[in-house]
Chains A and B, each alone.
Chain A
Amino acid sequence: MRIQTAIEAKLGALQPQFLQVENQSHRHNVPPGAESHFKVIVVSRQFNEKTLLARHRMVNQILADELSTAVHALALHAMTPDEWSDKNEASAEIAESPPCLGGSVAENAARKK
């Protein structure tokens, strides 16, 4: 299964009100077609009353297999339904992920050693 599809399917466990998984690998220094860098926006009631750290840990846990293998970076925006509607009302942009600075190359070289 494609990694993107797997991420989308697994995050279904959060019963998200909104879920967007975007493969941003093409913006990074990796081979064409790679699935290494993702941006995820997930809106779930299960994040209510949870700190940001706790929300990220929930997602990291669900995606532990992907994060320990193919997925190199996960830009994560984990919001409650209330926060999401506030953001939309203010028509605030979700933060852009930063540009690549080439670190994957050094890292992959280190792995091959």
Chain B
Amino acid sequence: MSVQERLKEVIQSNEVVLFMKGSPDFPQCGFSGRTAQILKACDVKFASVDVLADDAVRNGIKEYSNWPTVPQLYVRGEFIGGCDIMTELYESNELKKILQPAQS
């Protein structure tokens, strides 16, 4: 399976998935850490992928959505954005709406 196929499978088989550097409990980048905190604050269950663990994934995810940076959030297969977009959507309460059906 190619990297792009693997990424597609992860993104489509998880309702909410965050590609980040490190893990939600041990983020290795401030932007990644902030996005994981936002999802926790939204009380949503989410999968996370540590892109530092696999170089092919780190490069592949940038191609997947033609988005040059990590973190990246996907909800029900759709690319939502990176840290700045998530922060703005969270502050305007829109992120909760986007996440709603996935709320635990």
A contact set with B: CB distance below 8 Å = 52-53, 56-57, 60, 64, 67-68, 73-77, 95, 97-104, 106-107, 110-111, 113
Q: Is A53 touching B81 in the complex (CB atoms < 8 A)?
A: yes
Q: Would you give the shortest CB distance from A100 to chain B, in whole angstroms?
A: 6
Query: Hey, which chain A residues are within 8 Å of B79, CB to CB?
Result: 53
B contact set with A: CB distance below 8 Å = 21-22, 27-34, 52, 55, 58, 66-69, 79-85, 87-89
Partner of A97, one of B30, B55, B67: B30
Q: Is B31 touching A110 in the complex (CB atoms < 8 A)?
A: no
In the bound complex, what is the Cα–Cα distance between A75 and B22 (angstroms)? Answer: 19
Query: Hey, which chain A residues are within 8 Å of B55, CB to CB?
Result: 110-111, 113
Given contacts A68-B68, A107-B52, A99 and B85 within 8 Å (CB-CB): no
Q: Is B83 touching A75 in the complex (CB atoms < 8 A)?
A: yes
Closest to A113 in B: B55
Partner of B31, one of A56, A60, A98: A98
In the bound complex, what is the Cα–Cα distance between A107 and B89 (angstroms)? Answer: 28
Query: Hey, which chain A residues are within 8 Å of B28, CB to CB?
Result: 101-103, 106
